[in-house]
Structures are given as structure tokens and as C-alpha cells.
């Protein structure tokens, strides 16, 4: 049931704009520190891109790692970031993040419903950079039973269609491994059958998934905590304008079903509206190789359309334009459904498995496909000649597709045929046929695959080094030796899926200081205005050094903002 409608006028200490990880973190932290908090959300459901995400948070030196005996000197992640970010390294904000991150995890664990599971086996993406971690720097929200949220569950965004199975989110790690191995192992089959059976009952009873994992568990746990702490949660209530008095932000005008109302904030407004992945104008202006703004398959929900940046600018805030990349690239394929709707599928899992390569229209490889998603698209954008559409094709054989799936076409026991028939996958009895179906140069592809296979039979990839880093190997198949990321492509029919530039969100946001206060053109904090999550210019300077570098800082800077507004001093 929605909250009681907003009435004119309202007052609070802190007004939070947006209900993703950053907004909810700020709201919960401020409320726990005694602040009266209102959170407004534009969409009819809470959760934003966070609810669709993998939910991984990069938080070096976190208490879960420490409890497991992984005790790192903070100098190590700092060294890693210094090397990765180069001249974009912002010492003040990185220090604030590295210091507050572990406290943030402790705070939520101790005082709220947000409990975590560890990512102690997840390596940083660039294992050859000094200070790179091989595990212990990531956490994820612990799975959550939706029934514990009562009526609130129906006000939360459901899992993304493309990354779930019939609406059931699957968690990276053991859960996903069980689904991938369900035709090979009895315990895996039992796990998958039990999970799916329960999901079907939940669908029948509640009309949605109730075994919550990944980003949707993070949102559920944060929203539950916010509700318990008395945060007023208002959906379908977009903030339209900031109230600015004598240069200070004092609240916002918010659109509601009953008309526009004024919400005054005695202490601060926190902008956490999810950046601008769906702002066509700003995409056109800022994204490379995006001349009309439409050459991009953004993954976040449409509501993340730049409102926070515009609100911040109206108060004198500045959008950072000097990041290495304004966008958190993701390789994405377009999925067309029978009902005429379209979806965006993120290629996160299969690129590192043995027996797949990515090629351009000339049939040539251009990157180590097992590297990070951001690296794949960065390389693709750089490699495609200027006059051509930026796109690549992921190529595999029948054995690979049946074992690991390709994009949204799932592995055995689910059929591949429907995805070939609807054109999502191209297929060919020979590589030549496949190349012609895709519009790839057949000679180039034949040569590339022959050369790749020659080495792949020995588990080697001298051209790009698949399997050469801990991150690569983690993305591969540990059961496949000698190289978990390399196998020949030779069992017809062959398949391909077209992959285009898309994103997990944006990096270019409002400039802030280490307290998450929005800065004006002279670098001074704007009184009463904070930004967190993707509304804040990424502390990674447009680089992507590790999985979880969006959500780790989003939750941490939400926490930092909430504490700063409340005037908290001791770590809680
Ligand atoms: C498929 C996918 C997987 C991902 N996996 C990961 C991962 O594992 N780890 C990681 O670090 N990152 C991941 N990301 C990226 C990450 O999810 C985002 O960077 C993060 O969720 C952004 O959080 P946020 O709080 O800034 O914004 P959001 O979660 O997008 O929330 C912003 C909210 O603000 C609302 N809003 C917009 N305008 C207004 C307005 N005017 N008034 C009120 N509300 C407004 C929006 O509707 C939205 O609900 C993933 C993203 C996707 C799409």
C-alpha cells in the first residue's frame, strides 16, 4: 500500500531525492542519527538501477574480509587506486572513501536490517596493477525474504527481466553455479529445483519474487531499515525544482498526484537521482561515438534521466566533464520480445568462459574478452573505425552455448531455437555462413578463428592473453583446464550475438568534496546541498578498477552525507 499522499507544505531536516543505494543509505544514516527524513522517488516503485544491479559493493578492508582472516593494509587498495586512476586520483575523496567504507559496513550491520555476505574470492579487474586485490574487497547484501517486508515489498522495484529467470533473481557464486550445473550434478539440480519451485509459489501467491538477492536485496534491506527508522518514503513524487534562498538550498518543489508541493528541508537536500544514463541530450553531448544520443543501450531504468544533475546545476553545482570516461560502459545486446517490447541484456558472465571470442565487422578480435565489461567496450569504441557503427559480435559454438549460454539465450536444458528464430542470435552451420548472417567479413572471421583455435587447443591465447589474470580466471570455468578461459570454437552450429555500447550508469556527476557536499564554480560547498551515488562525479575519475565501484562508493557517500548533515563525530 502506498504511503499517505503528500500534502502542502511539508518540513523535515533532510530531504533525499531518489531511492537507490545512495539515497536510501543517506536516509537511513541521517534518520539513525536523529534526523527527520523525507525521501521522494520519481517512479511508482523504490530502488532505481540499484534494484536491477548485481548488488556488489567494492569496500576494501571491510569487516567481513577481516573476520575471514583477510587483513589488508589500506595502503594496498590506495596504491591500486593511485596506479589505476593516475592523474584522476582525488586524494581527499579516496581517503574519505577508504576510511569510511569499513565503518559504513559496521554501521549497517550493527544498527539496521542491512546485513552482508562477503565477496572474498573476487579479484580486482586489473590484477597486474600494483596493489591489486585477489579477494576480500567486496560485499553484497545478504539474501532477504521479501515476506519480512510486509506491505513495503509491493512498493519495491522488481528484478530486471533480462538478468532474472522468470522474475527470479540468481546470485553470483554458489547459487549461479548450481543453475549452470543443474544437468551435471544432483545437488546442483536439487538446489535449482528447490529455488525455482519456491519462486513459482511466490509468483502465484505474491505476484513477484520473494527470495531476494543481489541489488533487489540491497534495496529491500535498506528500505526496510528506512521505514523502521521513521523515514517518510514517498513514491511517484519527482523533485522538480530546488528551493534556493540566499544561495542556500532549503528544500524542493515536488510533483505529486495532488499537484506540486513544497518540502522544506531545515538542514539539507541530498541528490541521489541516479545520474543521466537515460538523458538523451546529455548522452549526445558527453558520450563518445554517440552522435544522436540514441546509439547507446543504457541498462538503468528510464527514470534515471539526469534530474539530479539539473537540480544541482540550478543551485550552482558543476557537472565534471574531465573524467576519463563519462559513462560506466557495459557490453549490451538488444532483446526483442514477442509483445513488441525491447530489453537490454548486459554481457557480464559468458565473455570469460572458455570457447568465446569477440570480433568486429572485419572479423578480427580487438580485446581480451575475459577482462572487465568496461574494458571490453572501451576497446570496442577505440577499435571500430569512425565511419562504422560501434558494435561487435560475440562468437561461440554449439557446445559453448549449451554449456554456458550466450547473452539471454540460456544453456541446457533451456532451448536455444527460439532465440535463433527471433533473430537475437545469428547462427550458421559453418563459420562462413555465420559471418554472412552477421554481416562480418567471412575471410577475416575464418582466419581469426583458425588462429585462435590453433593456440586454444593448448589452452593458450597469445594474441590477447585470456586467462592471464586472477580476474580472468575467476570469470572462466574452473573445471576447464589447463586454461579456464580458453577452448577452441569448433562444434557446429556456430552462434553470434551483436553487442553494442551500453552502460551500468554514468560516472560524470556533480563535483563534490569529501563530505559529499556539492561544490560551486569556485570549489566552495553549496550550503544545504549534497550528492551521492551517480549524481556525484565518480571518485574513480571515469576508470573501472573493480566490480562494485559504483555501489561501494554510493552507499559509503550516502553514509558520509547522512553523518555530515547530522553532525556525527564518533564512528557509528
Ligand atoms: C544490470 C546492472 C548491474 C549492475 N551491477 C552493479 C554491481 O554489481 N556493482 C556496482 O557497483 N554497480 C552495479 N551497477 C551500477 C549501479 O547499479 C548504479 O551505479 C547504482 O545503482 C546507482 O545508484 P544510485 O543510488 O545513484 O541511483 P539509482 O539506484 O538509479 O536510484 C536513483 C533513483 O532516483 C530516482 N529519481 C530520478 N529522478 C528523480 C527525481 N526528480 N525525483 C525523485 N527521484 C528521482 C530514480 O527513479 C531512481 O529510482 C549495475 C547496474 C545495472 C543496471
Nearest to 499 by CA among 311, 314, 359, 327: 359
- What does DSSP assign to residue 201? H
Which sign does the torsion angle of CA 411, 417, 423, 429 carry?
A: positive
pTM of this prediction?
0.97
Nearest to 307 by CA among 282, 333, 336, 273: 273
Percent of the chain with pLDDT over 70: 99
- Cα distance between residue 309 and residue 445, in whole Å: 44
Q: What is the model's pLDDT at position 102? A: 98
417 CB neighbour count, 10 Å cutoff: 10
Q: What is the model's pLDDT at position 183? A: 87
Residue 312 Cα distances to 183, 266, 516, 538, angstroms: 52, 18, 13, 15
Q: For atom 48 of ligand 1, which residue has the closest CA?
A: 48
Question: Ligand 1 centroid to 460 CA: how many Å?
Answer: 38
78 sits in which H/E element: helix 75-85
Ligand 1 pocket, 272 CB below 6 A?
A: yes
216 and 159 Cβ atoms separated by less than 8 Å:
yes
| Per-residue confidence band for 180, with pLDDT thresholds at 50, 70 and 90 | confident
| Cα within 13 Å of Cα(470), Cβ side | 15
Nearest to 423 by CA among 496, 494, 516, 354: 496
Nearest to 328 by CA among 392, 395, 274: 274
Nearest to 553 by CA among 35, 133, 56: 56
Mapped onto helix, strand or coil, the DSSP state of residue 564 is: helix
- HEC string of 151-201 equals HHHHHECCCCCCCCECCECCCCCHHHHHHHCCCCCHHHHHHHHHHHHHHHH
Question: Ligand 1 centroid to 309 CA: how many Å?
Answer: 14
- Cα distance between residue 230 and residue 427, in whole Å: 55
Q: For atom 29 of ligand 1, which residue has the closest CA?
A: 20
How much is the average pLDDT of 239-243?
Answer: 98
Q: Quote the cell numbers at residue 75.
A: 595502503
223 and 48 Cβ atoms separated by less than 8 Å:
no
438 sits in which H/E element: helix 431-438
Residue 338: pLDDT over 70: yes
Which sign does the torsion angle of CA 282, 285, 286, 291 carry?
A: positive
Residue 90: pLDDT over 50: yes
Q: Quote the cell numbers at residue 399.
A: 557446445
Residue 1: pLDDT over 50: no
Q: For atom 12 of ligand 1, which residue has the closest CA?
A: 550
How much is the average pLDDT of 412-433?
Answer: 97
Q: Quote the cell numbers at residue 559.
A: 553514509
- Say which residues have a Cβ less than 8 Å from residue 423's Cβ, sequence separation at least 6: 336
Q: Please, what is the angle between helix 551-566 and helix 21-32, to 10°? A: 30
For the CA atoms of 355, 361, 367, 370, the dihedral, rounded to the nearest 10 degrees, stands at -30
Residue 447: pLDDT over 70: yes
Q: Quote the cell numbers at residue 31.
A: 534518520
Ligand 1 pocket, 300 CB below 6 A?
A: yes
310 and 527 Cβ atoms separated by less than 8 Å:
no
Q: What are phi and psi of 139, to 5 degrees?
A: -135, 160
Ligand 1 pocket, 55 CB below 6 A?
A: yes
Cis peptide before 9 (omega within 30 of 0): yes
Residue 297: pLDDT over 90: yes
Q: What is the model's pLDDT at position 273? A: 98
Mapped onto helix, strand or coil, the DSSP state of residue 473 is: helix
Which sign does the torsion angle of CA 296, 49, 351, 81 carry?
A: positive
| Per-residue confidence band for 4, with pLDDT thresholds at 50, 70 and 90 | low
Q: What is the model's pLDDT at position 172? A: 83
Which atom of ligand 1 sits closest to the CA of residue 303? 47
Residue 218: pLDDT over 60: yes
Question: Ligand 1 centroid to 48 CA: how many Å?
Answer: 5
Q: For atom 13 of ligand 1, which residue has the closest CA?
A: 53
- Cα distance between residue 22 and residue 554, in whole Å: 5
158 CB neighbour count, 10 Å cutoff: 19
- Cα distance between residue 16 and residue 251, in whole Å: 10
Per-residue pLDDT reduced to its tens digit, 93-109: 999 999 999 999 999 99
| Mean predicted lDDT score pLDDT of the chain | 96
How much is the average pLDDT of 255-284?
Answer: 97
Ligand 1 pocket, 169 CB below 6 A?
A: no
| Residue 271: strand pairing partners | 17, 531
Q: Quote the cell numbers at residue 220.
A: 529491500
Q: For atom 19 of ligand 1, which residue has the closest CA?
A: 550
Residue 2: pLDDT over 80: no
How much is the average pLDDT of 18-33?
Answer: 98
Amino acid at each position: 500500500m502506498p504511503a499517505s499522499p503528500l500534502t502542502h507544505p511539508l518540513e523535515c531536516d533532510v530531504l533525499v531525492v531518489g531511492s537507490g543505494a545512495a539515497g536510501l543509505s543517506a536516509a537511513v544514516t541521517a534518520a539513525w542519527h536523529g534526523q527527520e527524513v523525507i525521501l521522494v522517488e520519481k517512479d511508482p516503485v523504490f530502488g532505481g538501477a540499484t534494484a536491477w544491479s548485481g548488488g556488489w559493493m567494492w569496500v576494501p578492508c571491510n569487516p567481513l574480509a577481516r573476520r575471514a582472516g583477510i587483513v589488508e593494509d589500506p595502503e594496498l587498495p590506495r596504491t591500486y587506486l593511485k596506479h589505476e586512476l593516475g592523474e584522476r586520483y582525488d586524494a581527499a575523496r579516496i581517503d574519505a572513501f577508504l576510511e569510511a567504507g569499513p565503518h559504513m559496513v559496521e554501521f549497517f550491520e550493527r544498527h539496521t536490517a542491512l546485513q552482508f555476505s562477503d565477496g572474498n574470492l573476487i579479484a580486482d579487474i586489473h590484477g597486474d596493477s600494483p596493489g591489486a586485490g585477489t579477494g576480500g574487497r567486496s560485499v553484497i547484501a545478504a539474501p532477504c525474504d521479501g515476506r519480512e517486508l510486509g506491505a513495503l515489498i509491493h512498493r519495491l522495484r522488481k528484478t530486471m527481466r533480462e538478468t532474472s529467470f522468470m522474475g527470479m533473481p540468481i546470485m553470483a557464486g554458489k547459487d549461479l553455479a548450481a543453475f549452470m550445473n543443474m544437468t551435471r550434478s544432483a545437488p546442483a539440480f536439487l538446489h535449482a529445483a528447490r529455488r525455482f519451485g519456491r519462486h513459482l509459489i511466490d509468483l502465484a501467491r505474491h505476484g513477484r519474487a520473494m527470495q531476494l538477492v543481489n541489488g533487489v536485496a540491497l534495496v529491500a534491506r535498506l528500505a526496510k531499515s528506512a521505514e523502521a527508522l521513521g523515514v517518510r518514503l514517498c513514491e511517484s513524487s519527482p523533485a522538480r525544482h530546488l528551493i534556493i534562498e540566499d544561495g542556500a538550498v532549503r528544500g524542493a518543489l515536488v510533483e505529486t498526484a495532488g499537484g506540486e508541493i513544497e518540502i522544506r528541508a531545515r538542514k539539507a537536500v541530498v541528490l541521489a537521482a541516479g545520474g543521466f544514463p537515460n538523458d538523451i541530450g546529455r548522452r549526445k553531448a558527453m558520450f563518445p561515438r554517440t552522435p544522436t544520443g540514441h546509439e547507446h543501450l543504457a541498462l538503468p531504468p528510464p527514470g534515471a534521466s539526469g534530474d539530479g544533475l539539473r537540480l544541482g546545476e540550478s543551485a550552482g553545482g558543476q557537472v565534471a566533464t574531465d573524467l576519463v570516461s563519462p559513462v560506466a560502459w557495459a557490453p549490451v545486446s538488444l532483446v526483442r520480445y514477442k509483445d513488441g517490447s525491447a530489453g537490454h541484456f548486459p554481457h557480464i558472465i559468458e565473455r570469460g568462459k572458455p570457447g568465446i571470442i569477440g570480433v568486429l565487422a572485419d572479423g578480427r578480435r580487438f580485446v581480451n574478452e575475459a577482462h572487465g565489461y568496461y574494458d571490453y567496450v572501451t576497446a570496442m569504441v577505440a577499435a571500430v573505425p569512425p565511419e562504422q557503427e560501434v558494435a561487435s559480435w560475440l562468437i561461440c559454438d554449439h557446445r559453448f552455448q549449451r554449456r554456458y549460454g550466450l547473452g539471454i539465450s540460456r544453456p541446457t536444458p533451456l532451448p536455444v531455437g527460439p532465440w535463433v528464430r527471433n533473430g537475437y542470435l545469428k547462427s550458421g552451420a559453418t563459420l562462413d555462413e555465420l559471418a554472412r548472417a552477421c554481416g562480418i567479413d567471412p575471410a577475416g572471421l575464418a582466419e581469426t578463428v583458425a588462429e585462435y583455435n590453433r593456440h586454444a587447443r593448448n589452452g593458450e591465447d597469445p594474441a590477447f592473453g585470456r586467462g592471464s589474470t586472477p580476474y580472468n580466471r575467476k570469470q572462466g570455468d574452473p573445471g576447464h583446464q589447463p586454461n579456464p578461459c580458453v577452448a577452441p570454437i569448433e562444434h557446429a552450429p556456430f552462434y553470434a550475438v551483436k553487442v553494442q555500447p551500453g552502460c551500468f550508469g554514468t560516472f560524470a556527476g556533480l563535483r563534490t568534496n569529501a563530505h559529499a557536499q556539492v561544490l560551486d564554480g569556485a570549489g566552495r560547498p553549496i550550503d544545504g546541498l549534497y550528492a551521492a551515488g551517480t549524481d556525484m562525479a565518480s571518485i574513480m575519475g571515469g576508470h573501472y578498477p573493480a566490480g562494485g565501484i559504483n555501489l561501494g562508493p554510493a552507499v559509503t557517500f550516502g553514509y558520509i552525507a547522512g553523518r555530515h548533515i547530522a553532525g556525527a563525530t564518533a564512528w557509528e
